[in-house]
C-alpha cells in the first residue's frame, strides 16, 4: 500500500528549514499540477503496457522480451496507429501478440506452438515484425 507524504510531514518545522528543492515544490502553484498531469498522460500514451492476462501468458509460455524487441513492438504500434488500427496481431520472432493499439496494451501473447492452426478473431490488422 502506498501513502502520499506531504512536505509538511517530511519537514515538520517548515519555513526556513526546508531545503531549496523542497521550498520550490511546496511553493509550486496548482497550475503546475495540471501541467504534470498532462505530461503524465502524454507519457502514458507512449509506454507499452501489458495486461494481467498477457503477463500470465508470457510467464506460462516462457516468452521473454528483450529491450530491442520491446522497442520494435513500440515502433510497430506507432505504425499500426498511423493506419488507424484498433486491435492488431503482431508476429515477432515466432511469437504472436494481440495488441490494443489505442491503449498501447498487449492483451495476450502466444508462442509458436499456441499459434499453430489458431484462428485469430476480433482483430482488424496484422503485422510481421522482423
Whether residues 59 and 38 fall in one domain: no
Q: 18 with 69, same domain? A: no
Backbone angles phi, psi at 24, to 5 degrees: -60, -40
Q: Residue 117 sits in which domain range?
A: 48-129
**Predicted confidence (pLDDT) per residue in 79-96, tens digit:** 999 999 999 999 999 999
Let me know if residue 1 belongs to a domain.
no
Domain shared by 20 and 52, yes or no: no
Do 70 and 120 sit in the same domain of this protein? yes
Domain count, the chain: 2
The pLDDT tens digits of the residues spanning 15-56 come to 444 444 333 444 444 555 555 666 555 445 568 999 999 999
Q: Are residues 35 and 69 in the same domain?
A: no
Nearest Cα to 22, choosing from 33, 34, 10?
10
Question: Is 114 found in the same domain as 53?
Answer: yes
Examine the domain organization and report whether 81 and 17 are in the same domain.
no
Task: Output the 3-class SS for the chain.
Answer: CCCCCCHHHHCCCCCCCCCHHHHHHHCCCHHHHHHHHHHHHHHHHHCCEECHHHHHHHHHCCCCCCHHHHHHHHHHHHHHHHCCCCEEEEEECCEEEEEECCCCEEEEEECHHHHCCCCCCCCCEEEEEC
Arithmetic mean of pLDDT over the chain: 78
Residue 92 lies in a domain: yes
Amino acid at each position: 500500500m502506498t501513502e502520499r507524504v506531504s512536505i509538511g510531514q517530511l519537514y515538520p518545522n517548515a519555513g526556513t528549514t526546508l531545503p531549496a528543492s523542497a521550498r520550490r515544490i511546496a511553493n509550486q502553484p496548482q497550475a503546475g499540477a495540471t501541467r504534470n498531469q498532462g505530461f503524465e498522460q502524454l507519457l502514458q500514451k507512449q509506454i507499452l503496457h501489458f495486461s494481467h492476462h498477457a503477463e500470465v501468458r508470457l510467464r506460462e509460455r516462457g516468452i521473454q522480451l528483450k529491450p530491442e524487441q520491446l522497442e520494435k513492438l513500440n515502433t510497430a504500434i506507432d505504425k499500426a496507429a498511423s493506419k488507424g488500427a484498433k486491435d492488431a496481431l503482431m508476429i515477432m520472432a515466432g511469437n504472436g501478440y494481440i495488441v490494443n493499439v489505442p491503449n498501447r496494451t498487449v492483451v495476450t501473447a502466444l508462442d509458436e506452438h499456441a499459434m499453430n492452426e489458431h484462428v485469430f478473431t476480433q482483430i482488424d490488422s496484422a503485422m510481421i515484425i522482423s
